[in-house]
Structure 1
Amino acid sequence: MARPVVGIISNSFLINDSYPAHAGGTMNSEAIAYVSDCAPMLVPADPRLCPVEELLEICDGFLLTGGRPNVHPEEYGEEETPAHGTFDRLRDAVALPLVRACVERGQPVMGICRGFQEVNVAMGGSLYPEIRDLPGRMNHRMPPEGTLEEKFALRHRVRLLEGGVFHRLMGAPEVMTNTLHGQGIKHPGDRIVIEGWAPDGTPEAIRVKDAPGFTLSVQWHPEWDAANDPVSRPLFQAFGQAVHDWAAQKQALPLKCSA
């Protein structure tokens, strides 16, 4: 039997600075295939090519990945400034309504880094343009030099809400994570429950309150070494189980017959 399908949202990319492409990190697909036990499918971040309504029927769950462009501040009622960086309005147009639809339907969705921020904005929250500029905050950005192993190395602890979903899933009150982001949650959206914090108070783990399906999202990058990392593995396994459950439920629905 075919594995359930996880749509992995892509990022706009120029190959050799000239050829437009929809790109996705290999480690995202590997985490979905090997740890979540689902079939990864790269989704174009352009609603003109594949409307959200179609994606919801084609895919059983969605992974909202990290990406260099940021959510446009107009999406949370603020004006654009140089500090907000670059944008991908087409991805905004896919990801934000997709999150809201998944929450409503109970369809599994997991956000990573930018995806974490998309979930917050989709639920009515806002973002700081640059965390490291705030008093008392650390620099959460990816180190500019070094190997991939060095850039994705564990860098700080995340304190988890005692008795919360992440605490139960990870089996520990604190976990070690990497950190490769510039922006972060300013105001949590409606129904956004923060369940994890960096030492400087930056939100790191969220869920959507009273959502009928899987809505866990993290600010760090669990796709790195997901098969071996004790924090990443249970997260992708739980997401995969939720996707399998959704697919099984969908297959169990009676077929519609025409008169």
Structure 2
Amino acid sequence: MARPVVGIIGNRHMVNDEYPAQAVGLSNLEAVAQVADALPLMIPAVPDLVDIAHLLDVVDGIVLTGGRPNVHPSHYGHEETEKHGSFDLDRDAVALGLIHACVDRGVPILGICRGFQEFNVAYGGTLHPEIRELPGRMNHRMPTTGALADKFTNRHAVHLTPGGLFARLFGADVIEVNTLHGQGIETPGTRIVIEGHAPDGTPEALHVKGAPNFAMAVQWHPEWQAGIDPVSRPLFQAFGTAMRKDALRRAG
């Protein structure tokens, strides 16, 4: 069987602060290629360049990666403030529709960090602009100092729903993950099932209720050293397995 093709959404990027580009982190490409055993294909987060229906005729799965810009609050009925940070309206336009299209067609889709938040917004949920300001919450943002490996090191536990999709996938009810995000889920959207929480109550893992195929997302960054991490590896392997099973089904 040919390796599955995975569309990985890009992020707006400026080369030398003047040349517009689209970019995907190397860790995302490596996780898809080396752990999910698939061929990574970058999708430009530019609505004028992407036809979602045709895209899903080409790929076997989709990954919505993290990204520094946040989902614009107008998508979930909130007013824009300084706390919401920067935005990428083009990515919003591609990603939110792509989630619904993948779920409706049964195309496996994995959300990471911003992708996790996009899942929630796509189904009518809302986001906190700055969760570290909420009573009892920790600072989930990336540390401002230290080596990159230190910034991506595990920083807290995630308590999973016993017997849920994630607990069965990881073979445990408690896992350890990294954390590099400022925003988080405020109210879950319809069809969004939260299956994991940080010790401070922040939602960390979700799936789409009733999805006919893999439709899962996490708030942490499993792409970092996915080949050797005991949590990241089974997540990407399960994503790869879902794509191969779906390819066999479509081939009859």
Q: TM-score, with normalisation over the residues of structure 1?
A: 0.96
Residue in 2 aligned with 1:21? 21
**Which residue pairs with 2:223 in the alignment?**
223
**Structure 2 counterparts to residues 80-229 of structure 1, below 5 A:** 80-229=80-229
**Aligned equivalents of 1:224, 1:101: Cα separation in 2:** 27
Q: Which deviates more from structure 2 when the two are superposed, residues 50-59 or residues 187-196?
A: 50-59
Amino acid at match of 1:140: H
**% identical equivalent positions:** 63
State the 1:243 CA deviation: 1.2
**Cα distance, 1:242 vs structure 2:** 0.8
Post-superposition CA distance 1:175-214 (Å, at most 9, x none): 0000000000000000111000000000000001111010
How many pairs does the alignment contain? Answer: 252
> Stretches of 4+ moved more than 4 A in 1?
none
CA RMSD of aligned residues (A): 0.9
Looking at structure 1, the residues matched to 208 and 121 of structure 2 have their Cα atoms a distance apart, in angstroms, of: 12
Aligned to 2:54: 54
TM superposition shift of 1:106:
1.2
**Deviation larger for 51-60 or 126-135:** 51-60
CA offset at residue 231 of structure 1? Answer: 0.4
User: Residue 234 of structure 2 aligns to a residue in which SS?
Assistant: helix
Residue by residue, what CA displacement relative to the aligned partner does 1:70-99 show, whole Å, maximum 9, x if unpaired? 000011111111111100000000000100
- The CA deviation at 1:2 is 3.1
CA deviations over 1:17-52 (Å, ceiling 9, x no partner): 111110000000100001001100010001101121
1:204 counterpart letter in structure 2: E
- 1:249 shift after superposition: 2.7
Instruction: Give me the whole-angstrom Cα distance separating, in 1, the residues matched to 2:128 and 2:54.
Output: 32
CA distance in 1, matches of 2:246, 2:87: 32
For the residue of structure 2 that corresponds to 1:48, the secondary structure is: helix
1:216 counterpart SS class: strand
Alignment of 1:3-18 (within 5 A): 3-18=3-18
Tell me how far apart the structure 2 counterparts of residues 211 and 140 of structure 1 sit (CA, whole Å): 29
Would you say 1:37 and 2:37 are equivalent positions?
Answer: yes
Unaligned runs of 5+ in 2: none
Q: Deviations over 1:103-144 (max 9, x none)?
A: 111110000000000011111111000111111100000001
Quote the Cα distance in structure 2 between the aligned partners of 1:135 and 1:29: 37
Aligned residue in 2 for 1:77: 77
Gaps of 5+ in 1: 253-259
> How far did 1:223 drift?
0.3
Q: Distance in 1 between matches of 2:15 and 2:248?
A: 39
Partner of 1:257: none
Matched residue type, 1:124: G
SS in 2 for 1:176: strand
Measured after TM superposition, the shift of residue 246 of structure 1 is: 2.1
| CA distance in structure 2 between the aligned counterparts of 1:205 and 1:83, rounded to whole angstroms | 24
Counterpart of 2:248? 248
Q: Secondary structure at the match of 2:146?
A: coil
Distance 2:188 2:106 in 1: 20
Q: Displacement of 1:57 after TM fit?
A: 1.1
